[in-house]
């Protein structure tokens, strides 16, 4: 799914529209990529994707711990591998973890560190604006149906590099 962010868009309406577009595409999720490439106008022989974004909320470890019992006290680690030059894995919940995996033949460590810094600045700024503009609406992290904002943001690129 190609994503566009209009210059003056508000975060929540944009995210709602983005989710609606994604839901509308679900009926086509098993369509072969070769058909999608034909419809897209991307010439044959060129990759349809060069990057991928994966968001999991709640994170896998949170979802598994929520089952209780033996799962409650387990520690989990997620190991990602991809053939895409750039992968962003984001995990939500009370804190947000964003990991960037990348091919070292295409990106250097400093560029990825800068990219994580930009993402962190954008998300922290949006979260502050959201909290400030919605404080009077009584949104709460714990209210059902309320908009939850993460209390912590963690960024990671160490040990997430893909060597070629």
pTM over 0.85: no
Assigned token pair, 150: 């993460």
List of residues 6+ apart from 76 with CB closer than 8 A: 60, 61, 64
Task: State how far the Cα of 94 lies from the Cα of 150, in Å rounded to an integer.
Answer: 5
- Give the model confidence (pLDDT) of 70-120 as tens digits: 888 888 777 777 888 999 888 877 778 888 999 999 999 999 999 998 888
Q: Read off the DSSP letter of residue 22.
A: H
Tell me which residue of 46, 42, 157 sits closest to 103, measured CA to CA: 157
- Give the model confidence (pLDDT) of 115-151 as tens digits: 998 888 888 887 787 777 766 554 444 333 444 444 4
The residue ranges of every structural domain in the chain are 12-37+54-71+78-150
Please report how many Cα atoms fall inside a 13 Å half-sphere around the Cα of residue 53, on the Cβ side: 7
């Amino acid at each position: 799914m190609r994503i566009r962010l209009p210059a003056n868009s508000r975060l929540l309406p944009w995210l709602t529209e983005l989710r609606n577009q994604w839901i509308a595409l679900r009926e086509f999720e098993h369509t072969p990529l070769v058909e999608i490439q034909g419809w897209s106008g991307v010439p044959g022989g060129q990759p349809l994707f060069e990057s991928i974004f994966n968001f999991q909320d709640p994170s896998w470890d949170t979802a598994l711990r929520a089952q209780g019992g033996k799962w409650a006290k387990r520690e989990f680690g997620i190991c990602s591998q991809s053939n895409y030059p750039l992968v962003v894995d984001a995990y939500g919940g009370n804190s947000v973890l964003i990991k960037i995996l990348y091919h070292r033949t295409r990106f250097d460590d400093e560029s990825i560190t800068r990219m994580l810094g930009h993402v962190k600045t954008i998300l922290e700024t949006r979260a502050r604006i959201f909290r400030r503009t919605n404080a009077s609406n009584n949104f709460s992290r714990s209210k059902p149906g309320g908009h939850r904002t993460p209390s912590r943001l963690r960024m990671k690129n160490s040990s997430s590099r893909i060597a070629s």
